[in-house]
Amino acid sequence: MDALDHKCPACGAVLKFSPKDQKWSCEYCGSKFTLEELQKYKNASSADQNQKTKVEKSEKVEEMDVYRCNSCGAEIVADSNTTATFCVYCGNTAILKERIQNSRVPDAIIPFQKVKEDAVLAFKQLVKHKPLVPQSFKSKKNIEKITGIYIPFWAYDFNVDGTVEFHATDIHTWSDSRNRYTKTDQFSVVCEGSMHYDRVLADASSRFPDELMDSLEPFSYSDLKEYNHAFLSGFLSEKYDVLESVAVDRAKDRTLNTSVSLLQGQVHHQNSSVRKNGLSLKQTDLNYILLPVFMVNIKYRDKMYTFAMNGQTGKIVGELPYGVKEIILWSFGIFLACFLVCILLYVGGII
């Protein structure tokens, strides 16, 4: 399909999207193109094509490449430039050619603003001054596996209206020469509010931990673009496998919890707790969007540790393990240092 070809109009080589200048660059002849220029050469989806695809979402969409990992079975959507890669979930190299059918095309995308070098540097800084982290987390081989991937999200718009009743208290203490006194004042506070939320996110892929994806927020929607296949050039992309009707429950919970917190912030007392929640929520819109994430998985002692960086803001999240060998060596080093100090003090007659 022309929409996925992404060939350089000048020399015919493969084009890749450059986050630094938000253009498509040719590594062979040095040419750079804007999205409008690619559309002119029919190397990217046109606005009419995108609109037609959105209207006919129940029909077969434009074909895209996909590979399935022989080890863990993960399915990753990639553009036609991808011929060989490694699995970002388990680290094994495998690629198969298939076609995705009857899948909804994203409505919008936030293109990568950071490059792989930014992600590599951030990960190195994360483990730099942590001597107990296993050496496998510091090896160049593993660090270089960091890959840019577009993660699917459902983005919901909500209206929230209603009241929340809080039980609030103020506690005052004082004392005199004989006694100490405590006075507790109790209040019933009712807060009423009407709020609108744009694009509340819910991870649309079951392969990524929801908590990890939540922690990558916030994303700035000022960089949100109408979806075009050309943005996938040079990156991997995962398709959704969690239906919007399932993910909406998480989005509703996040929205209602935020609404309660905002109203609770208007309770000007020392302590407060929810007594009665009378908020109602109504969904007003839904969008399917792709968001940029750099990711690497490193296996240690039969457990996979995932690290991710927001490809727009540079925020990095992940869990670091303690290495058994590193703990033993570090403990032995401390013991040896203390022992030598004691010997020196004893020889010097100090102890």
Residues 6+ apart with CB under 8 A from 150: 109, 231, 232, 235, 236, 237, 238, 290, 291, 292, 293
* Residue of 83, 150, 138 lying closest to 111 (CA atoms): 150
CA–CA separation, 13 vs 235, rounded Å?
A: 17
Averaged pLDDT, 124-152: 82
> CA 32 from chain center: how many Å?
29
User: What backbone torsions phi and psi does residue 106 show, to the nearest 5 degrees?
Assistant: -60, 150
pLDDT at 71: 58
Tokens of 300: 């240690």
Averaged pLDDT, 154-178: 96
Checking if the pLDDT of 139 tops 60, the result is yes
Three-state DSSP at 10 gives coil
- Which residue would you say has higher pLDDT here, 2 or 281? 281
Checking if the pLDDT of 271 tops 50, the result is yes
- Which residue would you say has higher pLDDT here, 343 or 284? 284
CA–CA separation, 75 vs 62, rounded Å?
A: 17
Residues 6+ apart with CB under 8 A from 55: none
Residues 6+ apart with CB under 8 A from 9: 31, 33, 37, 38, 41, 43
CA–CA separation, 5 vs 235, rounded Å?
A: 14
Tokens of 239: 């398709």
- Which residue would you say has higher pLDDT here, 130 or 125? 125
CA–CA separation, 294 vs 309, rounded Å?
A: 5
**Model confidence at 96, in pLDDT bands (50, 70, 90)?**
very low
DSSP-assigned letter for residue 86:
B
pLDDT at 12: 76
pLDDT at 308: 92
- Which residue would you say has higher pLDDT here, 136 or 252? 252
Checking if the pLDDT of 49 tops 60, the result is no
pLDDT at 193: 92
- The pTM (predicted TM-score) of the whole model is 0.76
Among the listed ranges 79-83, 257-261, 276-280, which one has the minimum average pLDDT value? Answer: 79-83
pLDDT at 67: 57
Checking if the pLDDT of 93 tops 60, the result is no
Residue 154, beta-bridge partner list: 202, 288
Average pLDDT, the chain: 80
pLDDT in tens, 326-336: 566 656 667 67
Averaged pLDDT, 196-219: 92
Checking if the pLDDT of 110 tops 90, the result is yes
**Model confidence at 246, in pLDDT bands (50, 70, 90)?**
very high
Give the domain ranges of the chain.
Answer: 45-153+200-242+289-320, 324-351
pLDDT at 58: 36
Tokens of 5: 């070809």
**Can you list the positions of beta strands (E) in the chain?**
15-18, 23-26, 32-33, 65-68, 75-78, 98-99, 108-109, 147-175, 180-203, 225-226, 236-237, 271-300, 303-310, 316-318
User: What backbone torsions phi and psi does residue 310 show, to the nearest 5 degrees?
Assistant: -60, 115
Are the C-beta atoms of 147 and 295 separated by less than 8 Å?
A: yes
CA–CA separation, 319 vs 157, rounded Å?
A: 31
In this structure, which amino acid lies at residue 265? G
pLDDT in tens, 286-341: 999 999 999 988 888 888 888 899 999 999 998 777 665 656 665 666 767 776 77
DSSP-assigned letter for residue 11:
T
Checking if the pLDDT of 50 tops 90, the result is no
Checking if the pLDDT of 46 tops 70, the result is no
Are the C-beta atoms of 63 and 42 separated by less than 8 Å?
A: no
Cα distances (Å, whole numbers) of residue 23 to 12, 29, 45, 142, 260:
17, 15, 15, 29, 42
pLDDT at 81: 36
Among the listed ranges 52-56, 245-249, 275-279, which one has the minimum average pLDDT value? Answer: 52-56
Best mean pLDDT range from 139-143, 146-150, 181-185: 181-185
pLDDT at 100: 41
